[in-house]
Amino acid sequence: MADNTITSPLLTSDHLILTINSTSSDTDSSVPSDTRQISNPFNVGELTVPEAITVDPFHNYKAGINGFYEWVKTFLCIPLALVRLVIFGLCLAIGYVATKVALYRWKDKENPMPRWRCRIMWVTRISARFILFSFGYHWIKRKGKPARREVAPIIVSNHVSYIEPIFYFYELFPTIVASESHDSIPFVGTIIRAMQVIYVNRFSQSSRKQAVREIKRRASCDRFPRVLLFPEGTTTNGRNLISFQLGAFIPGYPIQPIIVRYPHVHFDQSWGNVSLGQLMFRMFTQFHNFFEVEYLPVISPLDDKETAVHFRKRASHAIASALNTVQTGHSYGDIMLHMKAQEAKHENPSSFMVEMAKVESLFHISSLEAVDLLDKFLAMNPDPSGRVQYRGFLRGLRLKACPLSEKIFSFIDVEKYGKITFRQFLYGSAHVMKHLGFNQTCEAAFAECGGSVKGYIVEDELRDYIQSAIPSWNEDEVHDFFALFDDDNDGRIYKDEFLACLRRNPLLTALFTPQPKHKESCGNGVVEIL
């Protein structure tokens, strides 16, 4: 018997041989097999992907003309629609002229609008009420009262249609926070400027920070109007709330939540996925459109130590409770994903929404990066259900079928279904990027490919390195893979190009991550790990 102690190694050999009972008929080369997965190809924790929810908070389900009653009503209301269109145009023109007069030679836009100019704006505000009347909102049901400006300098509201900004302009004449693109809207852009709008670029961190500073400055000065924000950042169908942005809650001032409802039977007035022209026509051809506004109790910060995140949570809970609905993790980023899928003419664009706010919170990945990943996923030719097969996955990442490629696919295919969804692809890519060693792996790979000496990599150097991971790659396949990195087609991959490509395609880092070498033999069922 061998003289072993408790400190002696259990295996004295420097390699391990596992015998697996299998036959060649047990595997299919088109779908990765679980028995082939030797280890995680990225040396990161296992991937967990939450189940997708079926709620679409943006879809308008009743925008079209459906049923005999609706067709007859629409036909009978066409003459009325023409009259309403004339009233709308006339009121818009009057409001525009009055606003131009109020803004005439006003240079000091950083300070509150003088009182005499505000009095002229009352003409525009009355015109706004008549515009609501032309849209069929003959009376508006109100519940509660707006708090005084000194009590709640900031108001927040759910956002369902373009009707709410018109109503709030008439009712409260607040300062609003809006996208820079609103300034270029004919006629309306001028009126928005009279509200001393705070412009923000949702994709610029510096712009968002500047907007928060401006919100705080105006909320602190009683001479400014109260500040109105739609924290959802876009319109929904009113059935659900989506995630709130933090801009209204960072300044730390008391907030009055307001909720709007559009009770209906035949015609859903939410903007959602409906064009502005179609929505206006449907409003013009209704006898009456219902609109309800409820002013909720003011919510104040608990103390100086309460975070903006907790403050936001209390406000969103109050609005969700009053609406008797739930809040999802969707954001404007999901609309961007939906639009990208629509551009690709996919049958079910809603299947590519992933509750982007949750993804951003978990992985700190931006909506623009998610759209780029969706563009990559759509190039893999997903089926009508939104799933991609193994061969399409290889084609999209310009990989070759091999054990390493199978491990990459298996890492994402958490359901072991043989197909992956965009949610799995996004979570898998983001999970790899989030790992602390991601940047180091990318920089080390560039150095090991020869970039540390010259500052760039040529095709032969990339081929020599990659063929150690996938020996069966031929010259044409390597050239195609090289072109993925070489953005300017100059035959050289510089460090910025290399790192940017791996950030766009984080799953490719598996090719540059040390893998356990193995030999496979399907005939005798032997797997040798060195």
CB atoms within 10 A of CB 416: 10
Res. 103: pLDDT tops 50: yes
Q: What is the pLDDT of residues 453-489, one digit of tens each?
A: 788 888 888 888 887 778 888 888 888 888 888 888 8
Domain 68-323, CATH number (from 2.70.98, 3.40.1130, 3.40.50, 3.30.70): 3.40.1130
Mapping DSSP to helix (H, G, I), strand (E, B) and coil, where does residue 255 land?
Answer: strand
- Give the 3-state DSSP-derived string for 42-60, with helices as H, strands as E and coil as C: CCCCCCCCCCCCCCCCCCC
Res. 36: pLDDT tops 50: no
Per-residue CA distances from 65 to 76, 293, 466 (Å):
13, 26, 58
pLDDT tier, 39 (very low <50, low <70, confident <90, very high otherwise): low
Superfamily name with CATH number, domain 437-511: EF-hand (1.10.238.10)
Domain 332-434, CATH number (from 3.40.50.620, 1.10.238.10, 3.40.50.720, 3.40.1390.10): 1.10.238.10
Lowest average pLDDT, out of 10-19, 144-153, 332-341, 521-530, goes to 10-19
Lowest average pLDDT, out of 55-64, 383-392, 498-507, goes to 55-64
pLDDT tier, 335 (very low <50, low <70, confident <90, very high otherwise): very high
For residue 227, which phi and psi values (nearest 5 degrees)?
-100, 130
CB atoms within 10 A of CB 494: 19
Res. 21: pLDDT tops 80: no
Res. 18: pLDDT tops 80: no
Residue 273's DSSP bridge partners are none
- For the entire predicted model, the pTM comes to 0.83
What is the Cα–Cα distance from 440 to 459, expressed in whole angstroms? 22
Matching CATH topology for 332-434 and 437-511? yes
Q: What is the pLDDT of residues 395-442, one digit of tens each?
A: 999 888 888 889 999 999 999 899 999 999 999 999 999 888 888 888
Boundaries of every domain in the chain? 68-323, 332-434, 437-511
Mapping DSSP to helix (H, G, I), strand (E, B) and coil, where does residue 168 land?
Answer: helix
What is the Cα–Cα distance from 337 to 343, expressed in whole angstroms? 10
Q: What is the pLDDT of residues 257-296, one digit of tens each?
A: 999 999 998 899 998 888 889 999 999 999 999 999 999 9
